[in-house]
Amino acid sequence: MRRFIIRNRRAITVVTVIFMIALFAYLIYKTKQLGYGLYKNNTYPGSAFGTSVKTTIYDNDINKRDEASKLVIEDLRGLDERISYRVEGSEMALLNKNYEIDGLNKVSPDVASWINREIEISKETDGAFSPCILPLTQLWGIEDGNEEIPEASYIEDALPLVDSSGLEVVDSSVVIHEFGMGLDLGAVGKGVAADIVKEELDKCGVSGAVVSIGGTVLVYGDKGDNRPWHIGIRDPRGGIDDVLGVLDTEGNTVISTSGDYEQYFEKDGVRYHHIFDPRTGYPANNGLISVTIITPDGFLSDAMSTACFVMGLKDGLAYAEKKGVSAIFVTEDKKVYTTKDINKSFILKAKGYKLEK
């Protein structure tokens, strides 16, 4: 009888221990589900690429958070100084100033790779995207505050100069076949920056981050609450803080948006924006006011948001599906279209818009 009681007590003890372990694990799980496990975070303002930068770092180590934020801004400004055609002495400025027609114009391997990828996208989109858009950018003057509608003859003269068929990459050299061409990596710069920042955050070992560079947002890692990231997509007809909708996404994703609201001027009731169609020489005018591309590849996200905007709803949506990226298209009549894969993860919030199924 005594042995039976002892064995019984031991069995009860074992069951109790197992129950307590299970209960403890469950409480940890529920705590994370409810958001109580959120990592500590700080938001650091800054600027680069001619726009505001906001970096929020998630990690319980304050030193990691501070160090990562400093390195992020250093990386962004360093890249801007390398590839901006506006920065005297940058690779792009020197290339545009000194290139030899039909010659091998040496650039760094990564710049050559970015230009080559841009040429590929130009081919895939039948010229709706161009890495040599600079002659049109300068002709219209929208980005420099000297905006004006150029004479039609000037636009016609510029078209051969923005045709990327006059451009090729050979190893780490750029070959330019037309005098007067000019390269501008602005359509991919922020996406490239997001890719570089992602690598920096890997080295820093932080848990998670959200880095906003103008219209491009890098979502990195996790924030500790066992939930997706909730990223607001800007309302193209609202203020800078107005949200069109909220996208649920995982970490290590880049979200790039191009729209007619970023840089533009109006004349006689017509809005002229800075996203040019290289095939016509005029700002893209196809009924779209905003395109958002979501993919882990920052370069592709940035480039495709521009390309799809120029292509228009039908062709742009088909191209996004073909490339396997997620996308949100907004038309001037306030209809919102998405790729099928994010039907449930994008929630429309702004009034006056309709989500098309």
CATH code for the domain in which residue 323 is found: 3.10.520.10
Same domain, 273 and 342: yes
φ and ψ at residue 336, rounded to 5 degrees: -115, 130
Asked if residue 284 is part of any domain, the answer here is yes
Asked if residue 28 is part of any domain, the answer here is yes
Cα three-residue angle 264-267-272, rounded to 5 degrees:
30
Q: How many domains does the chain have?
A: 3
Asked if residue 53 is part of any domain, the answer here is no
Same domain, 243 and 158: no
Same domain, 236 and 349: yes
Bridge partners for 327 per DSSP: 293
Same domain, 237 and 291: yes
Q: Quote the mean pLDDT of the chain.
A: 92
Same domain, 93 and 14: no
Asked if residue 237 is part of any domain, the answer here is yes
Half-sphere exposure of 221 (CA within 13 A, CB side): 25
Go through the chain and tell me how many residues it has. Answer: 357
Q: Identify the domain containing residue 307 by its residue range.
A: 228-355
Confidence of residue 14 (pLDDT cuts 50, 70, 90): very low
| Helical H segments across 240-342, by residue range | 298-311, 313-323
Asked if residue 73 is part of any domain, the answer here is no
Same domain, 12 and 91: no
Asked if residue 309 is part of any domain, the answer here is yes
The Cα–Cα gap between 255 and 198 comes to 13
The Cα–Cα gap between 303 and 322 comes to 15
Confidence of residue 16 (pLDDT cuts 50, 70, 90): very low
The Cα–Cα gap between 311 and 315 comes to 6
Same domain, 243 and 160: no
| 3-class state of residue 321 by DSSP | helix
Asked whether residue 138 carries a pLDDT value surpassing 60, the answer given is yes
**Region 13-20: what's the mean pLDDT?**
45
pLDDT in tens, 46-65: 999 999 999 999 999 999 99
Same domain, 232 and 323: yes
User: Kind and range of the H or E element at 65?
Assistant: helix 62-83
Confidence of residue 228 (pLDDT cuts 50, 70, 90): very high
Same domain, 125 and 17: no
Q: How far, in Å, are 76, 93, 214, 228 from residue 41 at the CA level?
A: 21, 38, 21, 16
State the DSSP string of 7-58.
HHHHHHHHHHHHHHHHHHHHHHHHHHHTTTTPPPEEEEEEEETTEEEEEEEE
Taking the model in full, what pTM does it have?
Answer: 0.89
| 3-class state of residue 318 by DSSP | helix
Of the three residues 121, 155, 183, the one that is the final residue of a domain is 183
